[in-house]
Amino acid sequence: MSNLTDLYEKIAKCDACRLCKQRKRVVPGEGREDADIMFIGEAPGWHEDQQGRPFVGPAGQFLDELLQSIGLKRSEVYIANVVKCRPPSNRDPLPDEIGACRKWLDRQMELINPKMIVTLGRYSMARFFPGATISKVHGTVRTNEGVTYFAMYHPAAALHQGSLRGVIMEDMLKIPSFLTQTEAVPEESKLQNAKKAEKTEKIEKVEKGARTEKPGKTEKVQKVEKAGKVENIEKAEPKQLSMF
């Protein structure tokens, strides 16, 4: 089982906030495990909740068009949301729901390790462009640890406010050149991110052993703890990226 599939199984069982009670399906995310670009939206809507897949409703159709405009298919990128379960009546996700879901998004970013993260809408923008307003920051990038963050309006905004359609399309067309610039950045920091993910994976394996194996194995973990690595084991939850 791949790390991502393993993660999806964990997300499917999540009951960390009230949204689990009304969901039909969780919507963990989908796409290439080694995608260069990761798109992060807000939360699943009705269609997504029915199908367990991100961006499959009207906003998703527009996202597909946008991807096509830069020569990409959704199978070539990775698509996720800040919150993995549908808020009732499509209301905005609440701060505690976003907080409860944060560890899943963190782990997805670690595993995909994309070159570029594109935020779709205010909730995803707030995570990577703290304090910014979408009307000012859309179409602009920030970089941190070798990853480029690019802010866009949510595709659904164009469905409610037709005048934003052209703005969103123009912003999308900027992605290829920003991606090329990211690729020119030294690989060192990307390598560091990959190492972080590898480390978390190793720790998870140790933890898994501790939970599922016979007492003998638990002893082994205790020995590791004794050897001074207890700190790492406690950090099995993915760390937040330093900037955020």
Which parts of this chain interact with ligand URA (CB under 6 A)?
Answer: 41-45, 48, 54-55, 57, 59-60, 81, 156
Containing 118, the helix (H) or strand (E) segment is: strand 116-120
Name which of 57 and 114 has its Cβ closer to ligand URA: 57
Q: Other CB atoms closer than 10 Å to residue 138's CB: what's the count?
A: 22
CB-nearer residue toward ligand URA: 54 or 114:
54
User: How far apart are CB 80 and ligand URA at their closest, in Å?
Assistant: 8
- What distance separates the 2 farthest-apart alpha carbons in the chain? 65
Cβ distance 85 to 26 under 8 Å? yes
* Shortest CB 54 distance to ligand URA, Å: 4
Collapsed DSSP state (helix, strand, coil) of residue 37: strand
Closest CB 215 distance from ligand URA, rounded Å: 44
For residues 26 and 59, which CB has a smaller minimum distance to ligand URA in the complex? Answer: 59
Q: Which residue, 31 or 54, is less far from ligand URA as judged by CB?
A: 54
Name the minimum Å distance from CB 48 to ligand URA.
Answer: 4
The amino acid present at 216, given as its one-letter code, is G
Beta carbon of residue 43, minimum distance to ligand URA (angstroms, whole number):
6
Measured between alpha carbons, how far is residue 43 from residues 23, 86, 201, 234 in Å? 12, 6, 27, 29
**Do 147 and 193 touch, CB atoms closer than 8 A?**
yes
- Whole-number Cα distances in Å, 88 to 43, 47, 49, 238: 11, 13, 10, 28
Cβ proximity to ligand URA, 120 vs 137, nearer residue: 120
Residue 225's φ and ψ, nearest 5 degrees, are -60, -45
- 26 CB-contact burial (10 Å; exposed 0-12 / middle 13-18 / buried 19+): buried
- Cβ 90 to ligand URA shortest distance, Å: 9
Which CB atom, from 42 or from 110, has the smaller least distance to ligand URA? 42
Amino acid letter, 50: Q
Q: How far is the CB of 42 from ligand URA (least distance, A)?
A: 3
Considering the complex, state which of residue 48 and residue 204 has its C-beta at the smaller distance from ligand URA. 48
The residue at minimum Cβ distance from ligand URA is 41
CA-closest candidate to residue 43, choices 108, 88, 103, 96: 88
